[in-house]
Structure 1
Amino acid sequence: MLKDRIYYKDAYRQTFTSRILHTGTDEQGRPYAVLDNTAFYPTGGGQPHDTGTIDGIAVTDVEEFDGEIRHFLESALHSKDEVEGLIDWERRFDHMQQHAGQHILTAAFVELFGFPTISFHLGKGLVSIDLDVENISQQQLTAAENLANQIILENRPIETTFITEDELKNYNLRKQPSVTDEIRLVIIPEFDYNGCGGTHPDSTSEIGLLKIISTEKQKRKVRVQFACGNRILQQLHRKHEELSAASKLLSAPEDGIATAIEKLLESNRIAEKALVDAKENLLTYEAKELLAEQTDSIVKATFTHRTVQELQQLARLLVGEGNDSVIALLAAENEDKLQFVAARGVSATASMKMVSATVLPTINGKGGGNDTFVQGGGEKTISVVDLANLMESSILN
């Protein structure tokens, strides 16, 4: 029976002895052992499995198959009647803290705002719950976090019991259990009553503290990520290291980093604006030089490592005000690709669609535009000079 399993009878049990019922190898070639009882918690209900050793051999995974718990091992066990198991207590207690914290935070959102939790995930760094709401405010997050920590600090007992389906009516459960046989309840008196098969500490104070770290939208739901107990210290250490590194890079005290970043961003915006202005001036000068070299109405030029955005801007300058009859044919070679832009002034009559219709099949490319302006790109099947010549021949023929 479930209630006889060691991890349910005593979640604090770190060592145990048990008999081997049978051993085997799964389809992936992983050796496993099935024992007559175990303190190893198998993956389930959002909580990861325990790790540890059995007779000194590392337990890498624990899963339940058709009512039997398989302990997957780094190597096969030698046949003998009785073995000794050792639980990785640091991992087990961390899971106990996080899972109990999830119960409390979930209950806090229900108690304060009626927000139900629809899923729970206990990850390596953070724990998350998905709330069945589309939006949540910072004030609501703070209120739920404060209530959760109040319950934790009150050192309330965390009780567990097995009941039958007929006994469910005696408890005000947060949601209906997903099982009908051997229903296990986890109870924080006068706050939360919930069906759960995970491991938890005996009192809320053992959770330590709970801190909401972040939220994100998940398909019209809100995912709340948080940490409890020792994980808060880990988060604090990591953030402190990042803050110290940023402080050194910015030559600013830690409490002045936000101001230093604002100044840096403003300087960056000014520099970017100056760079854009400089590029525009250079393109304007380049357009004037190309027009000065013009011997007829066509301005043809080739480039290396030129973005299509620069080609577009240069083409518009070439056919702009005062250059009504000009046709600009620009081609660029960028690594293994060819790109082109063709534009005409308002008094030119040639259709730029003829350019793309001629060029694109040759370079296996794609493009678009209209009679006055087209652009496109494709494979480097010909040289950039041949591309420009092909563009010119398409409007001269």
Structure 2
Amino acid sequence: MAFQCQRDCYMKEFVTCVVSCCPAELKQEVNGKKETLKGFNVKLQDTILFPEGGGQPDDHGLIGDIPVLRVTRQGPEALHFVVTPLEEGQEVHVKVDWERRFDHMQQHSGQHLITALADTMFGYKTTSWDLGRQRSTIELDTPCVKPTQLQELEEIINEKIRGHIPVTVQLLSIDDPAVEKVRSRGLPEDHAGPIRIIDIEGIDANMCCGTHVSNLSQLQVIKLLGTEKGKKNKTNLIFLAGNRVLKYAEKSYSTERSMVSLLKTGADEHVEAVDKLQKSVKLLQKTNLSLLRDMAVLIAQNFKNDPQRGNFFSLHKKEGDNEFMNIIANEINTEETLVFLTVGEEKGPGLFLLAGPSGAVTQMGPQVLELLQGKGAGKNGRFQGKANSMARRAEVEALLKEHCKHHTSQEE
């Protein structure tokens, strides 16, 4: 059977009864971390909440005042995951998150239209599609789509939208001869009930379980953003439909105004202005690196020329990199001198280098690593890596000074 959401995609509220409520778990990702939520799978007599399928994500909504976090299909049934149990047999009021639903309707119907016209105009078959949170992608069975083809396709797509063409739903039995004439990528193994056909009048007839607009005019507009290289000699076509185009335009305009304020130029000059800035930054970086190298040499020479220099040298500099530290270490005779260098934020993360006599570096390297909460390795009198925190740098310096003092006294 078809769910109420498939019979009437525009129904926003619905009254039905609870058939069953069983304990269940939902695996989800929150802020990049996977977690398992304990709750209940609820079956209803019927539902206006679409279970994920056909490339379309599931609906969100409410059963009473209880949020429905996930809707999945199990054969002919829909399972609604909630964290609060519901009583079997009770009458409930179901409400769909209409903004999310209508967005999915626009993207899904838009995909059918793009797919049909890409096939009719160029012979490019759709092998899969993805309804993303911000933009959607159609995988076309072709190694490339030319820019002129993309432009022509977008023009015809929007011409059809302006044509106010009806989109209708038919329910056919699986043995109906008409089923053989419609486009399909196959039915799921656990399919039950009639075959649902989405018919865009005069353009496309396609097997589909998803929710769709009733007229192409409700797509408003479709923007083809471009293409990307896909898997196995295929091409991914990226598109926006309906309200997503409006949001994209609003966001783009907001970004444009910010760029005008930052670059002090009109929108048409942004690319040129950014290009000039990038070249200027590259020149400054090159000059800065040259100065840092010269500074590294001077720092090392200044130490070597100091008659009171001793056998330990330590330096921290906020600006710098591994090359800066290695130049200093190379200029100083580390066979006799223990060198401890760090770059980065004083209390934050950074880089470190410990160089000197092999025995001292091998002995002290792991202790330095531990105090700086870092990662690194060493060989041939060099031990270097990344420090997660420079907060205990002074302790490291004191430890290394003590080691040098003890080693010198032993030699005497």
The bucket for the TM-score relative to the shorter chain is 0.7 to 0.9
Distance (whole Å) between structure 2 residues aligned to residue 230 and residue 286 of structure 1 = 61
Contact 1:109–1:115 (8 Å) recurs in 2: yes
Question: SS of 2:24's equivalent?
Answer: coil
2:305 corresponds to which residue? Answer: 292
2:31 corresponds to which residue? Answer: none
Distance (whole Å) between structure 1 residues aligned to residue 74 and residue 180 of structure 2 = 32
2:6 corresponds to which residue? Answer: 8
Matched, 1:309 2:307: no
How high is the TM-score relative to the length of structure 2?
Answer: 0.72
Distance (whole Å) between structure 2 residues aligned to residue 16 and residue 141 of structure 1 = 42
Contact 2:223–2:240 (8 Å) recurs in 1: yes
Contact 1:120–1:130 (8 Å) recurs in 2: yes
Unaligned stretches of 5+ residues in structure 1: 320-324, 343-351
How high is the TM-score relative to the length of structure 1?
Answer: 0.75
Shift of residue 245, structure 1, vs aligned partner? 1.7
Aligned ranges 1:1-397 → 2 under 5 Å: 1-2=1-2, 5-18=3-16, 20-28=17-25, 30=39, 33-54=42-63, 59-72=68-81, 82-111=91-120, 115-131=124-140, 138-139=147-148, 141-166=150-175, 167=177, 170-178=180-188, 181=192, 182-213=194-225, 223-293=236-306, 300-305=312-317, 307-318=321-332, 329-332=338-341, 339-342=353-356, 356-360=361-365, 363=368, 366-368=376-378, 374-377=382-385, 383-384=396-397, 386-387=399-400
Percent of pairs with identical residues: 25
Question: SS of 1:315's equivalent?
Answer: helix
Question: One-letter code of the match for 1:26?
Answer: P
Question: One-letter code of the match for 2:261?
Answer: K
For the aligned residue pairs, the C-alpha RMSD in angstroms reads 4.2
Contact 2:182–2:207 (8 Å) recurs in 1: no
Distance (whole Å) between structure 2 residues aligned to residue 13 and residue 199 of structure 1 = 11
Contact 2:354–2:365 (8 Å) recurs in 1: no
Contact 1:339–1:377 (8 Å) recurs in 2: yes
Shift of residue 242, structure 1, vs aligned partner? 1.6
Contact 2:368–2:396 (8 Å) recurs in 1: no
Unaligned stretches of 5+ residues in structure 2: 26-37, 370-374
Distance (whole Å) between structure 1 residues aligned to residue 115 and residue 336 of structure 2 = 67
Assess, with a 3 A threshold, how the Cα gap between structure 1 residues 117 and 375 changes in structure 2: closer, same or farther: farther
Shift of residue 202, structure 1, vs aligned partner? 2.1
Distance (whole Å) between structure 2 residues aligned to residue 169 and residue 61 of structure 1 = 31
Contact 1:291–1:299 (8 Å) recurs in 2: no
Question: SS of 1:26's equivalent?
Answer: strand
Distance (whole Å) between structure 2 residues aligned to residue 172 and residue 114 of structure 1 = 16
Assess, with a 3 A threshold, how the Cα gap between structure 1 residues 46 and 388 changes in structure 2: closer, same or farther: farther
Assess, with a 3 A threshold, how the Cα gap between structure 1 residues 132 and 236 changes in structure 2: closer, same or farther: same
Offset from partner CA, 1:65-112 (integer Å, 9 cap, x none): 343224455756678765554444333322211111112223344445
Contact 1:55–1:83 (8 Å) recurs in 2: yes
Offset from partner CA, 1:346-396 (integer Å, 9 cap, x none): xxxxxx7666545546656753566xx8443589897336547868969x9
Shift of residue 314, structure 1, vs aligned partner? 2.1
Shift of residue 264, structure 1, vs aligned partner? 2.5
Shift of residue 217, structure 1, vs aligned partner? 5.8
Distance (whole Å) between structure 2 residues aligned to residue 153 and residue 326 of structure 1 = 80
Contact 1:174–1:192 (8 Å) recurs in 2: no
Shift of residue 142, structure 1, vs aligned partner? 3.9
Shift of residue 58, structure 1, vs aligned partner? 5.2
* More deviation, 37-46/142-151: 142-151
Question: One-letter code of the match for 2:269?
Answer: G
2:34 corresponds to which residue? Answer: none
Assess, with a 3 A threshold, how the Cα gap between structure 1 residues 78 and 170 changes in structure 2: closer, same or farther: closer
